[in-house]
Amino acid sequence: MCSLWRGSLLTLTSSLNRRVFQCCRQFGRSYNIASCMPEAVAFQGVSDHSGLYKFSVNESDRFWGAVARQRLSWISPFHTVQNCDFSQGKIKWFEGGKLNVSVNCLDRHVHTCPERVALIWERDEPGTEVKITYRQLLELTCRLGNLLKRQGVRRGDCVTIYMPPCPLAVASMLACARIGAAHNVVFAGFSSEALADRIRDAQSSTVITVNQGVRGGKVVDLKRTVDQAVQNCPSVQQVLVAMRTENTVAMTDRDVPLEEEMMKEDVVCEPVAMDSEDVLFLLYTSGSTGKPKGLVHTQAGYLLYTSLTHRYVFNYHDGDVFGCVADIGWITGHSYIVYGALCNGGTTVLFESTPVYPNPGRYWEMVERLEINQFYGAPTAIRLLLKYGDEWVQNYNRSSLKTLGSVGEPINTEAWEWYHRVVGDGRCPVVDTWWQTETGGICIAPRPADPEAEIVPGMAMRPFYGIKPALLDTEVVTGDALCISQAWPGMARTIHNHHQRFTETYFQPYPGFFFTGDGAHRSKEGYYQIVGRLDDVINVSGHRLGTAELEDVVVCTIKSHQIKCIYIALRCSAQQLREMVSRSIAKYACPDFIQVVRCLPKTRSGKIMRRVLRKVVERNTDELGDLSTLDDPDSVHEVIRGHRRLRGDGKQQ
């Protein structure tokens, strides 16, 4: 009896032990996996971030299929996860599925939390922010959708939106999505010619704009720019005009007062069931030939990819305030201010101002006032603010910040360190996010990763789930060609009206791969570092030089020598160049120079226009291409003059 008892006790304890052990294992597993991605609990054999990453690239259909079913609301389910063939530039995701993007971004959150703030419109005048709840944004969207329909906009049409960041701009984008029209947002700093080009290429019958914009304390006559543009756009039948300021502007028969007319519309607008691969939007981006390309993004794959990256790269949680200071006219605004953030039921900031208005503390004063948790900005702005000193940052309480992000160009180590140490008080992960208009969403970033995984300053580091980078040979000394070897749901589907240009640009250079146009290195740990565009390298006397390094040198030199005018030698390797600059003799040592003036030709989003520099160096100044996106067109003339002087034409001087 006793032995029986003992025996059963032993059996009992050992089974208990086993159960406890299994429980721990399960707990350990679900803990790890849940911290990576709760959806992944269903993936067998996956127990940590690297396992999940491998699963996402090796079992791409299962990964994306499961995530798409769980994260998006479908009207009808898809039958095929992916149907892609890089050799034809064919990319299709979630075929058979029907959904409405605006329902995913609005209605489903209105059902669960109607009074949650969707948008915080941080107007130019500090302290005058406007909060819009999900319920209000759905109402605005429906009224606008009904108005667009009344104006004759139909499924498949493309509406051009020329507006600064504001709730009506977001509602316009979502209204298009609701009624099945595509949108074409044009950055409201572009000239009338650039706008006209884009309206014509998109064949829009409708343009939505504001009477005036307000930025950095200055009033900009946006409606006037639209008036000039549409003179050369026969497709345009109406211009809807919202009132950002109280000033009246001349209205013609073509113009429709937006607020007045939308108030006449119903607050209910039936969402159209869209196919996964119907067009969601076009977004123009400059190509290396100078003619802008209208990249096409579609519904389901884009929405899924932006929402997943928004959630995991920035570690965004319910209730957080996401502060992306990009303009809605760029892909960053589309993917992370609007679609990714709203799909996740997030609260997202629309920043109308500039980093230095009314003073260089603007960002951080806003972070304090709005209690921003994730701050996402561009290295150009960080470098600018760094020069004003730490006090502008330290004056404000930044304890709400949890993650800092950077996008648009390589972030040099000095700026990265300052961002991390001063802005983030050394306690927030800094995510340098690499991606493009073409990729739809972030492809390489330090997060997600295992908890506590290291972050190396100035490096994008780790591919996102489903992204399989490949580095292929180039003739360029500074980096290999960054390619991506399998399709992901967020990638662009084509160039509007130019599918051949799409395949030629992205799929023919390296057959079997998507070519990004960027150069990159991979460290021995397997981390990726982006070194800049390959198609914009400067070629002098057979030596090709990557431009990220040039920029880095420019930045260091301006900082260390406080000179306004520097000479960069081109007939040398990047390494030689660095050495020369560090010995401060770059000015004398080399026979071939380009003078880089304090203001390089930059686009309004802060990118240096390398193709312009290259043309100057190649003395091809008649073929500078489209300069309409330049922030300060005079900078080009200054570079041309400087270069001529240095080329000997100025030897006498």
Tell the smallest beta-carbon distance from residue 605 to ligand 6R9 (Å). 6
| C-alpha span between 575 and 37 (Å, rounded) | 42
Tell the smallest beta-carbon distance from residue 54 to ligand 6R9 (Å). 24
Number of residues that bind ligand 6R9 (CB under 6 A): 20
32 or 412: CB nearest ligand 6R9: 412
361 or 408: CB nearest ligand 6R9: 408
- What residues from 400 to 439 belong to the interface with ligand 6R9 (CB under 6 A)? 407-410, 432-437
Token representation of residue 76: 């009808």
* DSSP conformation class of 603: B
Tell the smallest beta-carbon distance from residue 465 to ligand 6R9 (Å). 18
Instruction: Please report, to the nearest 10 degrees, the dihedral formed by the alpha carbons of residues 527, 533, 534, 540 taken in order.
Output: -130
Angle (CA) 398-424-323 rounded to 5° is 65
Instruction: Please report, to the nearest 10 degrees, the dihedral formed by the alpha carbons of residues 30, 35, 37, 42 taken in order.
Output: 0
| Peptide bond connecting 126 to the previous residue in cis, omega within 30 degrees of 0 | no
215 or 521: CB nearest ligand 6R9: 521
Tell the smallest beta-carbon distance from residue 607 to ligand 6R9 (Å). 7
Sign, CA dihedral 90-93-97-100, equals negative
| CA-closest candidate to residue 635, choices 624, 620, 651, 647 | 624
313 or 530: CB nearest ligand 6R9: 530
533 part of the interface to ligand 6R9, by CB under 6 A = yes
Which residue is it, tokens 């006559």? 221
Q: What are phi and psi of 240, to 5 degrees?
A: -90, 130
Q: Please identify the residue of the shown chain whose CB is closest to the bound ligand 6R9.
A: 437
- What residues from 196 to 255 belong to the interface with ligand 6R9 (CB under 6 A)? none
Interacting span for ligand 6R9 (CB under 6 A) from 199-207, 236-244, 306-314, 325-333: 325-333
97 or 410: CB nearest ligand 6R9: 410
- What residues from 254 to 313 belong to the interface with ligand 6R9 (CB under 6 A)? 285
533 or 643: CB nearest ligand 6R9: 533
Tell the smallest beta-carbon distance from residue 73 to ligand 6R9 (Å). 27
205 or 516: CB nearest ligand 6R9: 516
145 or 458: CB nearest ligand 6R9: 458
Interacting span for ligand 6R9 (CB under 6 A) from 328-336, 392-400, 413-421, 500-508: 328-336
* DSSP conformation class of 272: P
DSSP letter for each residue of 172-223: HHHHHHHHT-EEEE--TTS-HHHHHHHHHHHT-SEEEEES-EEETTEEE-HH
80 or 285: CB nearest ligand 6R9: 285
Tell the smallest beta-carbon distance from residue 457 to ligand 6R9 (Å). 13
Tell the smallest beta-carbon distance from residue 433 to ligand 6R9 (Å). 5
| CA-closest candidate to residue 236, choices 262, 251, 254, 259 | 254
346 or 410: CB nearest ligand 6R9: 410
Distance of CA 138 to the CA centre of its chain: 24
Tell the smallest beta-carbon distance from residue 203 to ligand 6R9 (Å). 23
536 part of the interface to ligand 6R9, by CB under 6 A = no
| CA-closest candidate to residue 285, choices 190, 177, 159 | 190
287 or 642: CB nearest ligand 6R9: 287
| C-alpha span between 461 and 451 (Å, rounded) | 15
106 or 326: CB nearest ligand 6R9: 326
| C-alpha span between 220 and 483 (Å, rounded) | 41
Tell the smallest beta-carbon distance from residue 603 to ligand 6R9 (Å). 9
Tell the smallest beta-carbon distance from residue 290 to ligand 6R9 (Å). 15
| CA-closest candidate to residue 100, choices 147, 135, 153, 142 | 142
237 or 436: CB nearest ligand 6R9: 436
Tell the smallest beta-carbon distance from residue 460 to ligand 6R9 (Å). 5
Site string for ligand 6R9, 445-484 (x = CB under 6 A): ---------------x------------------------
Tell the smallest beta-carbon distance from residue 363 to ligand 6R9 (Å). 19
| C-alpha span between 399 and 210 (Å, rounded) | 36
Radius of gyration in angstroms for the set of CA atoms belonging to the chain, rounded to a whole number: 26
Cβ burial, residue 42 (10 Å; 0-12/13-18/19+): exposed
- What residues from 92 to 131 belong to the interface with ligand 6R9 (CB under 6 A)? none
Tell the smallest beta-carbon distance from residue 458 to ligand 6R9 (Å). 9
- What residues from 484 to 523 belong to the interface with ligand 6R9 (CB under 6 A)? 516-518
| C-alpha span between 308 and 444 (Å, rounded) | 13
334 part of the interface to ligand 6R9, by CB under 6 A = no
| C-alpha span between 108 and 345 (Å, rounded) | 9
Tell the smallest beta-carbon distance from residue 404 to ligand 6R9 (Å). 13
| C-alpha span between 593 and 450 (Å, rounded) | 46
284 or 465: CB nearest ligand 6R9: 284
- What residues from 606 to 625 belong to the interface with ligand 6R9 (CB under 6 A)? none
Pairing of strands 238-242, 206-210: parallel
Tell the smallest beta-carbon distance from residue 517 to ligand 6R9 (Å). 6
Which residue in 530, 540, 566, 630 binds ligand 6R9 (CB under 6 A)?
Answer: 530
279 or 326: CB nearest ligand 6R9: 326
Question: Under a CB-based contact definition with an 8 Å cutoff, are residues 240 and 147 in contact?
Answer: yes
Biggest CA–CA distance in the chain, Å, is 114
| C-alpha span between 109 and 138 (Å, rounded) | 10
| CA-closest candidate to residue 411, choices 447, 450, 445 | 445
| CA-closest candidate to residue 313, choices 421, 435, 488 | 435
Question: Under a CB-based contact definition with an 8 Å cutoff, are residues 495 and 293 in contact?
Answer: yes
Which residue in 331, 423, 431, 484 binds ligand 6R9 (CB under 6 A)?
Answer: 331
Question: Under a CB-based contact definition with an 8 Å cutoff, are residues 532 and 547 in contact?
Answer: yes
Which residue in 204, 205, 332, 505 binds ligand 6R9 (CB under 6 A)?
Answer: 332
Binding site for ligand 6R9 (CB under 6 A): 285, 330-332, 407-410, 432-437, 460, 516-518, 530, 533
